[in-house]
Each structure stands twice: as C-alpha cells, then as structure tokens.
C-alpha cells in the first residue's frame, strides 16, 4: 500500500474552504503541544492566544484595530498573488505611504480637516504606489525579479523612515525621541462609532472587501489576472498584456499598502515613530494565502491573524510565553495552508501493490 497523488480535473471547492480551517485548528493543536513541551501551560496559552481576544470585553475592538491594516494590505496583494507577481515588500510601501501623507500634513499645517484628510490619504496611496512602481519599472524594463526588488526596498524604506524621523521631521518637543510631531486634530481621523475605539480603517476594509469581491469575481480585469497566473501562454494568446498585469497588480498592492499606512498613522498613532513598521506588510502575505486569495477569505483571515496578534500579547502577560510566539503561530499557519494546497489540486489515493507507480517509470 502506498499513497499516490492524482491530479483533479478541477480544484476541489470543499478542500479550498476546508484546508484553511484545518490549518488554523492544526496550528492550535501543535501550538498547545509545543508550549506544553517547552514547560508552559499549553492549553491555556492557546486559549489566551485564540479565544480570549474574542470573548474578553474590549479586546475584540483591539482585534478590529489590528485587522484593518492586515485586510487592506492583503486585499491589495491578492491580485498579484493570483497572477504570480510577488510583491513581498508591502511593509516598505506601507511605511513610505505613511511618510508621504505625513509630509503633506507637515507642509500644510493650517489646513482644515476637509482638505487635510483627503490630501493625506491620497498622498499615502500615492507614496505606496511610487514605492511599488520602482519594482514594476525594474521588472518590465530590466527583467528584474520583483521578489527581490520589492524586498530590498523594504530595507531602504526603513532607512528613509529612520532618517526623516531622526532628522528633518524630528519632533522638537519630543524629548529627543526619533518621532515626528503629533498630527493636529484636523489631520487625525476620529473614531467612527461613538463609545468604541473601532478605527475608521476597519470600515474602509469592509468597503474594500466588497470592491475587490466585485473586481475579482465580476470583472474582465480580475479574470485576466487569474489567467496570467494559471496559464501565462493562454493569457498571451488571449491578448492580456503581461507587463500591464505587472504594473496594475503592483500599483494596486502598493497603493493599498500605502493607504493602510496612512490610515494607521492618522487614527492609531497620531504621528510616525520608530515602532511604526510593525510587520503588517509581511503578515498580510500570510493573510492573503490563508484567505485563499479570495476577498471574503482574506477578510476572515485578517480577523484570525489579528486575533493572534492581540492574543499573543495576552498570552505574554498571562502565561508568560515570549513575544515571538505570535510570529511562530502565523508562520505555522502558512506552512499548513501551503502543505494542504496539494489536497485542493490533487486527490489522495491509496494504491495497492506499490509496483504500479514504479512500472510507470516513477521513482519512489
């Protein structure tokens, strides 16, 4: 008896939905076992990480706060990932977007809110697009793999941030901390629902989820992107321009990351400091895969990953697990989801008499 993979004619819809759920459950089980072995209270660590953030009063608002940037960035990434155009530098576009918006805010200190807020948001989107535009030029003109160029630019973006907040844009009243001056009231976004701390970004995330749902499911553009990813030569014969797909997916993902960045700085922090790049851009890649590159899936996956962020902090204080725990949970989920990908495209079959495969010329 041996296990054989047989290619399915069409991807299994059941597996497409079941595998992400299974990945989360398996991550929880594995996490409990590992923490038990490391000498912590395993089940309690899992409970604090995955359940407390949902049931505890007020914690769910933190979850929505963390989910907003994750969902917005991941929605931007899903088109590129469908087309197999890999933007893994969303973190840098997030930072540059926020810096561009902040720069505009500092350039017009007296502007009223109805001018300042739209200009800052537009600046955030523009900044993210510019930062993603460089890899797009490099890919379409110089054939540079976007995988490496997007990533390298994250490190460049970090240095731009360090330079600006420690130099030209340093807060004169900031006790010498590397941070920008706080935004004025006209430059910050208010909490949208009175009595809660739910950020406006979360409502943006809901709206954009619907927009992307229509875009991917109902538009020719969404279809062309998927075709480029699944069957590049068919896309070429079909007249879908490859470099236009590179440009559009990178512009969309860069713009969305920049949007997430400026919204975060305008509503959560009220300034930009050293702690601003907190890894949302990288985690959003996990969100897009856990959400199976589908807008609704991305929305749910963003909530789940946000739970691990908040829960990681809870587990840190309650069960005393180290801070890095959340990152390991997130990576483990991604491992599981990628490993289970094969169940979507292939059927597992037990083959009697191992020799059949060998007779067909396949090595063990």
Partner 1 sequence: MTLEFLIDALVTVIGVTTPILLAATGELVVEKSGVLNLGVEGMMLIGAVTGFAVTLTCGDSLGDFAPWFGVIAAGVAGAASSMLFAVLVLTLGSNQVATGLALAIFGIGLSSLVGASYVGMVIAPFNQAFPAWLAEDPIGRVAFGHSPLVYFALIMVIAAGWFLNRTRAGLILRAVGENDISAHSIGYPVLAIRYAAIAFGGAMAGIGGSYFSMVITPMWAEQMTAGRGWIALALVVFSSWRPGRLLVGAYFFGILMTLELYAKASGFSCLPSQFWAAMPYIMAVAVLAVMSARDVAGSEAPACLGRPFMPNS
Binding site for partner 1 (CB under 8 A): 4-7, 81, 86, 88, 134, 138, 141-145, 147-149, 151-153, 155-156, 159-160, 162-163, 166-167, 282, 285-286, 289, 322-328, 330-332, 334-335, 338-339, 341-342, 346, 357, 361-363
What's the sign of the alpha-carbon dihedral 327, 328, 329, 330?
positive
3-state secondary structure of 130: helix
5 vs 14 by CB, closer to partner 1: 5
Nearest approach, Cβ of residue 7 and partner 1 (Å): 5
17 vs 152 by CB, closer to partner 1: 152
6 vs 55 by CB, closer to partner 1: 6
Nearest approach, Cβ of residue 10 and partner 1 (Å): 15
Nearest approach, Cβ of residue 84 and partner 1 (Å): 8
Burial class (CB in 10 A: 0-12, 13-18, 19+), 150: buried
Nearest approach, Cβ of residue 22 and partner 1 (Å): 14
197 vs 241 by CB, closer to partner 1: 241
Q: Which of 276, 259, 246, 9 is nearest to 139 (CA)?
A: 246
CB-based contact 99:125 (threshold 8 Å): no
Nearest approach, Cβ of residue 153 and partner 1 (Å): 7
22 vs 148 by CB, closer to partner 1: 148
Going by DSSP bridges, is the β-strand pair 346-351/2-7 parallel, antiparallel, or unpaired? antiparallel
| C-alpha to C-alpha distance for 37 and 49, rounded to whole angstroms | 17
Neighbours of 129 (CB within 10 A): 24
Q: Which of 69, 27, 65, 18 is nearest to 49 (CA)?
A: 27
206 vs 339 by CB, closer to partner 1: 339
Burial profile 5-36: b = 16 or more Cβ within 10 angstroms, e = fewer: eeeeeeeeeebbeebbeebbebbbebbbeebe
| C-alpha to C-alpha distance for 207 and 251, rounded to whole angstroms | 19
Nearest approach, Cβ of residue 68 and partner 1 (Å): 21
| C-alpha to C-alpha distance for 39 and 344, rounded to whole angstroms | 37
Neighbouring-strand partners of residue 349: 4
125 vs 286 by CB, closer to partner 1: 286
Q: Which residues contact 121 (CB under 8 A, 6 or more apart)?
A: 101, 259, 262, 263, 266
Nearest approach, Cβ of residue 144 and partner 1 (Å): 5
Nearest approach, Cβ of residue 327 and partner 1 (Å): 3
The region, left, alpha or beta by phi > 0 then psi within -120 to 50, assigned to residue 177 is beta
CA count, 13 A, side-chain hemisphere, 335 = 9
Nearest approach, Cβ of residue 66 and partner 1 (Å): 17
201 vs 302 by CB, closer to partner 1: 302
92 vs 124 by CB, closer to partner 1: 92
């Amino acid at each position: 008896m041996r296990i054989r993979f047989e290619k399915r004619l069409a991807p299994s819809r059941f597996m497409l939905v079941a595998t992400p759920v299974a990945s989360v459950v398996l991550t929880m089980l594995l996490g409990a076992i590992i923490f038990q072995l490391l000498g912590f209270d395993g089940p309690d660590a899992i409970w604090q990480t995955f359940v407390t953030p949902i049931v505890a009063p007020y914690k769910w608002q933190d979850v929505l706060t963390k989910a907003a940037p994750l969902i917005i960035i991941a929605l931007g990434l899903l088109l590129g990932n469908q087309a197999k155009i890999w933007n893994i530098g969303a973190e840098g576009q997030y930072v540059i977007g926020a810096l561009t918006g902040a720069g505009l805010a500092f350039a017009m200190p007296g502007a009223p809110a109805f001018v300042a807020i739209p200009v800052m948001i537009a600046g955030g989107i523009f900044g993210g697009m510019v930062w993603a535009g460089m890899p797009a030029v490099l890919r379409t003109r110089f054939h540079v793999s976007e995988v490496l160029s997007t990533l390298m630019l994250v490190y460049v973006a970090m240095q731009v941030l360090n330079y600006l907040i420690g130099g030209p844009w340093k807060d004169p009243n900031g006790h010498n901390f590397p941070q920008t001056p706080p935004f004025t009231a006209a430059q910050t976004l208010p909490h949208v629902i009175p009595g809660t701390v739910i950020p406006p970004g979360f409502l943006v995330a809901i709206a954009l989820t619907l927009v992307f749902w229509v875009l991917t499911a109902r538009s020719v553009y969404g279809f062309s992107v998927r075709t480029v990813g699944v069957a590049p030569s068919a896309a070429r014969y079909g007249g879908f321009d490859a470099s236009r797909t590179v440009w559009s997916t990178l512009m969309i993902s860069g713009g969305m990351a920049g949007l997430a960045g400026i919204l975060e700085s305008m509503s959560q922090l009220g300034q930009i400091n050293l702690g601003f790049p907190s890894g949302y851009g990288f985690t959003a890649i996990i969100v897009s895969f856990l959400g199976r590159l589908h807008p609704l899936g991305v929305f749910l996956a963003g909530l789940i990953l946000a739970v691990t962020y908040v829960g990681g902090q809870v587990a840190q204080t309650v069960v005393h697990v180290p801070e890095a725990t959340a990152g390991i949970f997130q990576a483990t989920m991604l491992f599981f989801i990628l490993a289970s990908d094969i169940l979507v495209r292939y059927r597992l079959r037990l083959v009697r008499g191992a020799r059949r495969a060998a007779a067909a010329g396949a090595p063990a």
